[in-house]
Amino acid sequence: MLESSFPTLIAKNNHQGTFDGHSVNGIRYELPDGNCGWHITAWPGRDPVNVYWVTGNKFFAAKSHLLTEPESEIRLEIFDEISFVPHNERAAVLTAITTWEA
């Protein structure tokens, strides 16, 4: 299991697009240890909207919190790896990330 939250994340890129029929929004973050990953929001044009932390080919449950006081800040909690992501959604997310990292 990953550390449950990271107090400081540096946003590297922010992208959005449609891949294989799924809307995918992604923000690439650099973690305090220097590793990078993606905070992904994906949906197939209808509910449900799914939120993931993706690093490599691994998907983790994630939850973000927007704080506005005393300064604007996003806190991202990363939980256990998700063992099942629907095949079409997994493919759409990985295609999006590959495209954005090119």
Q: Do the Cβ atoms of 77 and 3 come closer than 8 Å?
A: no
Q: What is the pLDDT of residue 34?
A: 81
pLDDT reported for residue 8: 63
Report the alpha-carbon distance of residue 45 to residue 24 in Å, rounded.
10
Please tell me the distance from the alpha carbon of residue 46 to that of residue 70, in angstroms, as a whole number: 35
How would you write the pLDDT of the chain (102 residues) with one tens digit per residue?
444 444 566 777 889 999 999 999 999 988 778 888 999 999 987 888 999 999 999 999 998 877 777 776 777 788 999 999 999 999 999 999 999 998
pLDDT of residue 96: 97
pTM of the model: 0.82
